[in-house]
Amino acid sequence: MRNRNLIALEAALFECFTSYQSRWPQPWHHLWAIHESIARLDGFPKTWRTQKARKAHACVRGCSIEDGRLYVLEAVGPGWGDDLKFCIQCAAMIFYYMQVYRLAPYMGTHWDSETEESVMVKETTYP
């Protein structure tokens, strides 16, 4: 049996929002954590999505989102421009405190840092 380096969604989200913001490129397990969190929230109205910046933006919390970087949008109104922009770190913080890691998994429960893919770990229980 090979040794796996598994990172739980909860840990990946926590690491993402506590890591240095200008860390680039973004580690794969951070990006997986964001996409897994959005997928887990799919039962809610589709208000969250990721977007690649085509120009410099500012996160609603004041962080810079540089051209070419991935960020998260939350749709809060019907009109164009009503979306709230969050840098990856701030989105991870929001998802962490929303406890999305307690919701049923979509792509996986953990990130395998050896194979760089999400995996489902059966022992995990969800309320």
Alpha carbon 1 to chain centroid, angstroms = 30
What pLDDT band is residue 2 in, cutting at 50, 70 and 90? very low
CA-angle at 23, arms to 94 and 16, nearest 5°: 30
- Per the model's pLDDT, the better-predicted residue between 124 and 32 turns out to be 32
Q: N- to C-terminal Cα distance for the chain?
A: 30
In this predicted structure, what is the pLDDT of residue 29? 87
Domain ranges of the chain: 6-119
pLDDT tens column, 82-110:
788 999 999 999 999 999 999 988 888 88
Residues 33 and 106 sit within 8 Å (Cβ to Cβ):
no
What global pTM score does this model have?
0.82
For residue 110, which amino acid is it?
H
Q: Residue for token digits 């969250």?
A: 48
In this predicted structure, what is the pLDDT of residue 86? 92
